[in-house]
Amino acid sequence: MTDEGGRRVGSAPSRLRSLADSYPDGILGATRNGVVTILNAQGAALLGVDARDALGMPLADVLRLLDQDGRTWLDVNRPFDSISIVRAMPEQSWLSAAGEEVLTTATLIRNEPLAPVAGIAVGLRSGRGRARLDRERSDLVATVAHELRSPLTGVKGFVQALLNRWDKLSDDQRKLMLMTVNADADRLARLIAELLDVARIDTGRLQLYPRQSSAEVLVRRVVDSIEAGTARDVGLDVEDDLPEVFADPDKFTQVVTNLVENAVRHGQGRVRVRLAALPELPGVRITVDDEGDGIPVELRRRVFTKFWTTGESGGTGLGMYIVGGLSRAHGGWVTIDDAPGGGARVMVDWPSVDRRED
């Protein structure tokens, strides 16, 4: 078939099929008589049939999906017998002839409202994506359970000891136990705060209260606090005439804390923090160097994904994900490089002005 200019033009069914094949999910259509009228390549692959051979075949011979009891999709749903107010069928899980999970949805086609069903359109999708999501949720539960169990075990143990041996313990022993319980409670509170921040970053509901703040004051507090709790040397270098940053002080402090603690946890030797003015834009560059093994180039993108951890140093794997999310929320950005003396270098460029709309 050609047009007026002599160019070949495909038929309407072939164009429809080409369009359907470009759709990422499977599509199957059938008439009220149960005859298949369209099946794209993705749907044919999920059902284990040939797309062209399926056209004109009985729906029951093509849509060979079973539930756990061995019932077919048609036997369970009976779409052509649906009452007049039913327009669609929600997502359902089925097994293909190959034993793989297939997720289906369906739309009932009526020529006019409340009229009998004239045909059906069935959407088909592999269940592998849902299985991957289930695994991610399981990983989340396992990670949270593991991180909660350790401090909770400490809290429970020390509280039980205090209750059982209060009269036998000295004041110094009681104080030490209570300080440990307090530290474990802080750890729990921080983990919960991290999980809440992850959820807010994912859903776009992160609340910020930014204002002009001194990066030097905020970073020095973090460095002093972390250095007091570790045997590692944590140093801070601050460039003269450093501009202020436009930041929510709590979120800025959280970003710097995660960066420095990661360097202490994963690196070796000295940790060096440097604050300098950005070369081109008004803002501050926070650079954190360690003397560890560094981060291979091929893994640097994965660092900012949820639950990514390396080595045996533990942690939730949420720290760098939160660093990236909070920095972007302020209009900043994070890069990873090699430290000059070996190890990893993480740089956060933080603006001095409101760049959240950029």
Maximum mean pLDDT: which of 17-26, 45-54, 196-205: 45-54
User: What integer pLDDT is reported at residue 277 of this predicted model?
Assistant: 94
What's at 115, amino acid-wise?
A
| pLDDT higher than 50, residue 10 | no
**285 with 278: CB under 8 angstroms?**
yes
| pLDDT higher than 90, residue 203 | no
Residue range 239-286, pLDDT digits in tens: 999 999 999 999 999 999 999 988 888 777 889 999 999 988 899 999
**First-to-final CA distance of the chain:** 51
| CA diameter of the chain | 103
Confidence of residue 9 (pLDDT cuts 50, 70, 90): very low
User: What integer pLDDT is reported at residue 4 of this predicted model?
Assistant: 45
**313 with 306: CB under 8 angstroms?**
no
User: What integer pLDDT is reported at residue 34 of this predicted model?
Assistant: 92
**Which CATH topology does 211-351 take?**
Heat Shock Protein 90 (3.30.565)
Q: At the top level of CATH, which class does the domain 131-203 belong to? A: mainly alpha
Confidence of residue 5 (pLDDT cuts 50, 70, 90): very low
Q: Could you say which DSSP state residue 58 is in? A: B
Q: Mean pLDDT across the stretch 142-171?
A: 85
β-strands 344-351, 283-289 pairing: antiparallel
Report which of residues 317 and 188 the model is more confident about: 188
User: What integer pLDDT is reported at residue 1 of this predicted model?
Assistant: 40
User: What integer pLDDT is reported at residue 204 of this predicted model?
Assistant: 81
User: What integer pLDDT is reported at residue 357 of this predicted model?
Assistant: 61
**Which CATH topology does 12-126 take?**
Beta-Lactamase (3.30.450)
How far is CA 282 from its chain centroid?
31
The phi, psi pair for 179, rounded to 5°, reads -65, -40
Would the pTM of this model clear 0.75, i.e. be above it? no
Residue range 77-128, pLDDT digits in tens: 999 998 888 999 999 999 998 888 899 999 999 998 889 999 999 999 988 8
The phi, psi pair for 240, rounded to 5°, reads -65, 155
Q: Could you say which DSSP state residue 123 is in? A: E
What is the residue extent of each domain of the chain? 12-126, 131-203, 211-351
Residue range 310-320, pLDDT digits in tens: 655 556 677 88
% of the chain exceeding 90 in pLDDT: 46
User: What integer pLDDT is reported at residue 2 of this predicted model?
Assistant: 41
- What is the C-alpha to C-alpha distance for residues 220 and 131, in angstroms, rounded to an integer? 45
Closest-CA residue to 335 (of 343, 324, 326): 324
Q: Mean pLDDT across the stretch 63-67?
A: 92
| pLDDT higher than 90, residue 37 | yes
Q: Mean pLDDT across the stretch 39-43?
A: 92
| pLDDT higher than 90, residue 309 | no
Which ranges constitute the DSSP H helices of 8-127?
12-21, 41-47, 51-54, 59-62, 73-77
- What is the C-alpha to C-alpha distance for residues 253 and 259, in angstroms, rounded to an integer? 10
